[in-house]
Structure 1
Amino acid sequence: MGNYSKALEFYDKSLKIRERSLPPNHPDLAISYNNIGLAYDNMGNYSKALEFYEKAIKILEKSLPPNHPDLATSYNNIGAAYSNIGNYSKALEFYEKAIKIREKALPPNHPDLATSYSSAGSAYDTMGNYSKALEFYDKLHKIYEKSLLPNHADLATSYNNIGHVYDNMGNYSKALELYENAIKILQKSLPPNHPDLATSYNRIGSLYDSMGNYSKALEFYDKSLEIRENSLPSNHPNLATSYNSIGLAYNNMGNYPKALEFYDKSLEIREEALPPNHPDLATSYHSIGLAYNNMGNYPKALEFYDESVEIREEALPPNHPDLATSYHSIGLANNNMGNYSKALEFYDKSLEIRENALPQSHPDLATSYNNIAHVYDNMGNYLKALEFYFQQQHRCSVLQHR
């Protein structure tokens, strides 16, 4: 039903009884702590969730054998909480503990193993390690294909996850195929206001945004937002995701004041709900920077880009595509201000990451080559400009024949 505050009320009553009647290391106390953690998790209060998950794990590590499935569940929950606050390397540490137990203790098609593979795949996807993400998502999908009916909602989630990796890799046709597989299942198997449908609609919207079909993107973003506004608390991070997505579409359509209106809504939630070094905050700052850049206010754009890149350099691995995006945007603002040497410095940093992290057919590579060529053109170095324009043309031909 999703009434998490009511759930918390009853979990608290249960906990008070157990704290009075049980010894402090009793497994039933761990169950209470875990349930309260889950409720806070679902409400988007991830630091509070982590506090209760850690209380649970302290009891379970003392009272259960080291390969017990309940330990794996707790490790996975702690991993999810770290993932939600943006600490993906810490999340993977706990996900791997859970996987190690579950691969030994459970049959190979057990749903809990599927949960672990899904969690690890998501963390690797967010960290920009797409091959590793696909490895875990493929393991997950094989379990679901063997154990679930073809219209099961979890199978749709699996299609969504794999589609998201292909989306991040720039393979939009493959991503759309997988997203559409997912949405067909979800529309049959879930009520029309289910949060998983909102996630699917938002992802399809994001894909259309990347493909340049902004009106189609807005259509799906609006579907997603309608569900989230009706089913989530007003400060939930997923609402911030919807507002940011809608802002991005308006930005791409050239409606910058409207874009800023939605970016500000997103930022307000994220600043309240997330820790100050969370990657989603960096996304908000970067989005606002983009709008100011497009409005010609380059110093204001750089102010927000700097806030974004500061978080990303701290929170993400050094070869993450989002860092490349930040460097590219800072380069673009400097280019627009006529600071060509500074622009080249950041374009080069961006290109180095993209050449190492992205498939050779990714459209962002073509954008990098084109913009570097443009700077050399502005500087009067036409031979160097031609070199990068040819690189850009090559990437475009790869994209057309992919």
Structure 2
Amino acid sequence: MAKVHRSLGNIMTAIIRYSLAFVFVVVPGGGFSTGEQACAQAFVTMKEIETLHAKADKVFEAGDHETARKIYQNVTGYRMRRQGPKAYEIGAIHNNLAIMQYNEGDYEKANALYDKAIANVRGSKGGQHPDLATSLCNLGFSQIANSEGDAAMELFKEALKIRLPLLGGAHPDVADCHEGFGLCHSAKNESDKAIEAFDKCLQIRIKAFGEEHVETAAAYMGLGMAYIGKNDFAKAEEFDGKSKEILKKTGGLVVVNRNPRSRLQKPVFQFFKARSKLKRKP
């Protein structure tokens, strides 16, 4: 059982030990002792929960998703007790857990978590919040990967309606919506519409990031894919070559996997992916 370290001034030690209490307190029947969990939670202040949440975000961004998942699960328990299941911050956790499932290729679990994130953000922040648009786009990319292009199209449309008034038409987040449209149209063999969408995405990203950036490479690859649908192989080869040249210079879009278990498994190649996680504001 975790002990209280606040009297020693070591707040972070207390937080980590409280977190581990969720994982390691086991009752004889094999389950977790809710009494022990409640006792651990009772000592955790909101400031400490925020600190632990920030720690989970940092570990997540560093690529250690398995450790981040454990911490997020514990933070969820703390926040559920203090704030209830509909809190905005819990929506942020659902979004980031969904990204982990997406990167592991488990799109159905990712979609379910994105749905929860969307419900939390919509319920707590309203229907025009930028973080709602982020989770809508993330769910859209996941649905495309799961062969649900029609549903994804509606998500990208809703996200674009939120983002255009807030960000303007030249923002990289708007480019993500156009990329989504391009993927949806490509999946339906609507090559001309796909080319138009990917070209909009490309022009925004060139202005925002420059030519030699992985996001720009993604747009070039999308255009190459769309021209294959038109049987214009010369154009397809041109854009595919540009994307490969950028990836060669930048190191590509391969996500570094620092997870001690899943790094031994065959990686899921994700070119078009959920690039932006929900930004949680303390």
For normalisation by structure 2, the TM-score amounts to 0.71
Q: 2:54 aligns with which of 23, 28, 31?
A: 31
1:158 is displaced (CA, Å) by: 0.7
> Which of 97, 101, 118 does residue 99 from structure 1 map onto?
118
Per-residue CA deviation, residues 352-389 of structure 1 (Å, 9 max, x unaligned), is xxxxxxxxxxxxxxxxxxxxxxxxxxxxxxxxxxxxxx
Describe the SS at the equivalent of 1:208.
Answer: helix
Could you say if the C-alpha distance between residues 204 and 75 of structure 1 is closer, same or farther in structure 2, counting changes exceeding 3 Å? same
Range with greater deviation from structure 2 (30-39 or 159-168): 30-39
Partner of 2:74: 58
Corresponding residue of 2:90: 71
Q: Distance in 1 between matches of 2:114 and 2:75?
A: 19
- The answer on whether the counterparts of 2:59 and 2:67 sit within 8 Å (CA) in structure 1 is no
Q: 1:20 aligns with which of 7, 10, 13?
A: 13
1:162 is matched with: 181
For 1:236, the equivalent position in structure 2 comes to 254
Cα distance in 1 for partners of 2:161, 2:264 equals 34
Q: 1:151 aligns with which of 170, 173, 180?
A: 170
Q: 1:237 offset after TM fit, Å?
A: 5.7
Maintained 8 Å contact 1:209/1:217: yes
1:194 corresponds to 2:210: no
Provide the secondary structure at the position in 2 that maps to 1:55.
helix
Higher relative contact order at CA 8 Å, sep ≥6: structure 1 or structure 2? 2
> Structure 1's 216 and 50: CA in aligned 2 closer, same or farther, altered over 3 A?
farther
Please say which structure displays the higher CA radius of gyration.
1
Deviation of residue 118 (structure 1)? 0.6
**Contact 1:30–1:57 (CA under 8 A) maintained in structure 2:** no
Q: What's 2:27 paired with?
A: none
Spell out the pairing of 1:116-131 with structure 2 (5 A cutoff): 116-131=135-150
AA at the equivalent of 2:234: S
**CA apart distance, 1:18:** 6.3
Moved over 4 A (4+): 278-281
Q: Deviations over 1:5-42 (max 9, x none)?
A: xxxxxxxxxxxx864364634321231122111221xx
Q: CA deviation at 1:219?
A: 1.9
For 2:76, give the aligned amino acid.
Answer: L
Decide whether the 8 Å contact of 1:125 with 1:133 is kept in 2: yes
Kindly tell me: are residues 163 and 29 of structure 1, through their superposed partners in 2, closer, same or farther at Cα, counting changes over 3 Å?
Answer: same
1:253-294, Cα deviation, whole Å (9 max, x unpaired): xxxxxxxxxxxxxxxxxxx96845x7759xxxxxxxxxxxxx
Asked if the contact 1:30/1:60 (under 8 Å) is kept, the reply is: no
Stretches of structure 1 that go unaligned for 5 or more consecutive residues are 1-16, 41-47, 239-271, 282-402
State the Cα deviation string for residues 102-155 of structure 1 (Å, max 9, x = none): 110013211110011111111211111122111211111111122112211111
Q: Give 1:141's aligned residue.
A: 160
**Structure 1 counterpart of 2:178, one-letter code:** Y
| Number of residue pairs aligned between Structure 1 and Structure 2 | 223
Q: State the one-letter code of the partner of 1:62.
A: Y
Opposite residue 117 of structure 2, the aligned amino acid is: A
Normalised to the residue count of structure 1, the TM-score between the two structures is 0.51
* Residues 236, 273 of structure 1: 8 Å contact kept: no
Question: What does residue 314 of structure 1 align with?
Answer: none
Q: CA deviation at 1:214?
A: 2.3
Corresponding position of 1:182: 201
Work out the CA distance in 1 between the residues paired with 2:130 and 2:186.
Answer: 26
Taking the TM superposition and a 5 Å limit, the aligned residue runs for 1:314-325 are: none
Residues 254 and 269 in structure 2, CA contact (< 8 A), matched pair in contact too = no
Name the SS of the counterpart of 1:35 in structure 2. Answer: helix
Is residue 162–residue 178 contact of structure 1 (8 Å, CA) maintained in 2? yes
Kept in 2, the 8 Å contact 1:198–1:223? The answer is yes
Q: Deviations over 1:77-96 (max 9, x none)?
A: 11111111110111011111
Q: Calculate the aligned-residue CA RMSD, in Å.
A: 2.5
2:243 pairs with 1:220: no
Q: Distance in 2 between matches of 1:274 and 1:76?
A: 25
Alpha-carbon separation, structure 1, partners of 2:66 and 2:226: 32
Q: Is the 8 A contact 1:57 1:75 kept in 2?
A: no
Q: Is residue 81 from structure 1 mapped to residue 103 from structure 2 by the alignment?
A: no
AA at the equivalent of 1:100: A
In the alignment, the residues of structure 1 paired with residue 204 and residue 255 of structure 2 have an alpha-carbon distance, to the nearest angstrom, of: 25
Q: Is the 8 A contact 1:31 1:56 kept in 2?
A: no
